[in-house]
């Protein structure tokens, strides 16, 4: 389930708020919810490889109400990552 967010063309072109996550649901059924936040940083790779210009500040996997994806074509990638992965990913939370 998602909500489409109209962009302003300046800060972001469009957004998507994910209200449910198939990965989180699957991992919960497997009794492995604790690893869900470690899947989210893969969005950094896609954003940078495809020029998405993704900004995301919250994730369902870390207990937020939504995953708040905001896209600005050619913009920077700024995705919050779990503290445990900051050194690996090279980004700060």
How many folded domains does the chain comprise? 1
Q: Inform me whether the pLDDT recorded for 91 exceeds 60.
A: no
pLDDT at 6: 97
Give the structural domain span for 79: 2-88
Which pLDDT band holds residue 84 (cuts at 50, 70, 90)?
Answer: low
* Residue 17 included in any domain: yes
Q: What angle do CA 23, 83, 47 make, to 5 degrees?
A: 55
Q: Which of 21, 22, 4 is nearest to 13 (CA)?
A: 4
* Residue 55 included in any domain: yes
Token pair recorded at residue 34:
């604790």
pTM assigned to the model: 0.84
* Residue 72 included in any domain: yes
pLDDT digits (tens, 9 = 90+) for 39-60: 999 999 999 999 999 999 999 9
């Amino acid at each position: 389930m998602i909500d489409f967010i109209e962009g302003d063309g300046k800060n972001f072109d469009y957004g998507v708020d994910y209200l449910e996550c198939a990965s989180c649901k699957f991992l919960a059924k497997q009794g492995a919810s604790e690893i869900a936040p470690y899947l989210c940083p893969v969005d950094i790779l896609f954003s940078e490889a495809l020029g998405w210009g993704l900004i995301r500040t919250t994730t369902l996997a870390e207990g937020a109400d939504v995953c708040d994806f905001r896209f600005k074509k050619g913009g920077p990638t700024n995705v919050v990552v779990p503290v445990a992965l900051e050194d690996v990913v090279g980004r700060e939370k």
